[in-house]
């Protein structure tokens, strides 16, 4: 295949990709991996209020160091992150939902027991 033919094929492919992207519609209001407080479940909002007040927390492990062993949050030294339970209705255990707070105040939400996180935005 000549370089001209290869360049033409590449341009056609790029044009098709641009058309496909344009047909997807407008970009979301916030990037993937983020969630607004208004989009969180009511129980998560209640947990955020407890965090802001400094407690009292309903679970003994609330406020414990979160080790970030999964490496999904920005790397920080041990003790930087603290975890808090988000109550799950109809579940007798702590469930899978948590809010993790960094020492600088950043907040993250997981509803799948640390398999994924979304940064909480005001």
How many C-beta atoms surround the C-beta of residue 109 within 10 A?
23
Q: Would 104 be classed as within a structural domain?
A: yes
CATH number of 75's domain? 3.10.450.30
For residue 53, tell me if it sits in a domain: yes
Q: Mind listing the pLDDT tens digit for each residue in 61-118? A: 999 999 999 999 999 999 999 999 999 999 999 999 999 999 999 999 999 999 999 9
The answer to the question of residue 3 being in a domain is no
> What percent of the chain shows pLDDT beyond 70?
74
Number of domains composing the chain: 1
Is residue 113 part of the annotated active site? The answer reads: yes
| Catalytic choice (29, 30, 39, 83) | 83
Q: What is the pLDDT of residue 122?
A: 81
Judge whether 47 lies within some domain: yes
Domain-embedded: residue 19: no
pTM, 2 dp: 0.74
> Which candidate in 30, 39, 70, 113 is catalytic?
113
Determine whether 83 is an active site residue.
yes
In a domain? residue 56: yes
Picking from 78, 77, 95, 79, the residue whose alpha carbon sits closest to that of residue 87 is: 95
Residue 23 lies in a domain: no
Host domain of residue 66: 29-121
Cα–Cα distance, 35 to 108 (Å, whole number): 9
């Amino acid at each position: 295949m000549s370089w001209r033919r290869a360049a033409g094929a590449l341009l056609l492919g790029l044009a098709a990709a641009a058309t496909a992207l344009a047909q997807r519609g407008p970009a979301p209001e916030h990037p993937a991996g983020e969630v607004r407080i208004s989009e969180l479940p009511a129980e998560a909002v209640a947990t955020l209020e407890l965090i802001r007040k400094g407690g009292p927390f309903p679970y003994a492990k609330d406020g414990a160091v979160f080790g970030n062993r999964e490496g999904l949050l920005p790397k920080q030294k041990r003790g930087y992150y603290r975890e808090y339970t988000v109550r799950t209705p109809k579940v007798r255990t702590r469930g899978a939902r948590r809010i993790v707070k960094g020492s600088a105040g950043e907040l993250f939400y997981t509803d799948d027991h640390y398999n994924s996180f979304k940064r909480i935005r005001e």
